[in-house]
Amino acid sequence: MNNREITPDAAGPPPKGATVARRALRDGVYEAILEKLLDGSAPPGSSLGIDSLARELSVSPTPVREALVQLEHTGLVSRVALKGYRVAPPLSPEQLSELFDMRGILEVAAVERAAEHAQDLLPELRVAHAQHVLAAHKVEKLRGSGETPPDFADLREYFAADWEFHLTIIRGAGNRFLTQSAEALSAHVHRLRQTAHHGTMDMQEAIAEHSAILAAFESGDPDRLRSTMRDHLAAVARRVSADG
């Protein structure tokens, strides 16, 4: 896990602006715990002790408790009566099906709307695609030489770039509620991809499918856009299902 500086809770009465500082502290703790979920250092089913996390992060239990409540709402952790919090188990086949069904509904709707001003979106989408390709190259170079970064930083960067390509299209739809819905899914998408056993095996397939989506935007053909996005999501779903 990357080192990040989290300021311990200040003793005594809260100064002016303490609400903002407390929120920043809670958000920092949230990100630190989320990173543990994504990099596999807190595997599915493992317990998340409030006191032990507070000691590890050098904060009081309060922001840890608040962060775990927030994570519970995402479904990534669950609270067990009298036992505290645990990392949620891997998505079941039914949940995977529902997740990809939701992504299909949301992302096909987004691509249809983004197609209306594809020319304005293309420069940003090309950059997002190039960053995805570069991140994949970094993973292949590192792991091809036999290195496996202990904090999975290379894979986190790769999957973040993969998802950013999708978010670029969703934001390009110009509908804030579509964007908010996608952001609500992001933790599940990241965890799904980063904990899949196939690991880096589908990088080239994903890049080729993103290239097809980019080419469809360049063509300006809405039907082609819809079909390439549907094909990509269906292919990812098949790869994940085959892996499970």
User: Mean pLDDT across the stretch 210-216?
Assistant: 98
pTM of the model as a whole: 0.76
Structure tokens at 143: 């792991």
Model confidence band, residue 243 (pLDDT cutoffs 50, 70, 90) = low
Q: Is the dihedral of CA 178, 180, 184, 186 positive or negative?
A: positive
Tens-place pLDDT, residues 38-51: 777 888 889 999 99
pLDDT at residue 151 is higher than 90: no
User: Mean pLDDT across the stretch 28-33?
Assistant: 89
Higher pLDDT, 44 or 147: 44
Q: CA-CA distance, 60 to 53, in Å (whole number)?
A: 9
* Number of CB atoms found within 10 A of residue 232's CB: 19
- CATH code for residues 18-87: 1.10.10.10
Phi/psi at 103 (nearest 5 deg)? -60, -40
Q: CA-CA distance, 91 to 35, in Å (whole number)?
A: 18
Tens-place pLDDT, residues 54-86: 999 999 999 999 999 988 887 889 998 878 899
pLDDT number for residue 15: 60
Structure tokens at 1: 């896990």
* Number of CB atoms found within 10 A of residue 148's CB: 9
Q: Is the dihedral of CA 65, 35, 186, 47 positive or negative?
A: negative
Tens-place pLDDT, residues 165-190: 999 999 999 999 999 999 888 877 76
205 in Cβ contact with 236 (< 8 Å): no
- CATH code for residues 93-243: 1.20.120.530
Q: In what order do the strands lie in the sheet with 47-48?
A: 47-48, 84-87, 77-80
DSSP H or E run through 80: strand 77-80
Model confidence band, residue 192 (pLDDT cutoffs 50, 70, 90) = confident
| Mean predicted lDDT score pLDDT of the chain | 85
pLDDT number for residue 198: 44
Percent of the chain with pLDDT over 70: 83
User: Mean pLDDT across the stretch 194-222?
Assistant: 83
Q: CA-CA distance, 147 to 141, in Å (whole number)?
A: 9
Conformational region of residue 27, where left means phi above 0, alpha means psi within -120 to 50, and beta covers everything else: alpha
pLDDT number for residue 13: 56
Domain boundaries, the chain: 18-87, 93-243
Tens-place pLDDT, residues 103-129: 999 999 999 999 998 999 999 999 999
Q: Is the dihedral of CA 90, 93, 98, 104 positive or negative?
A: positive
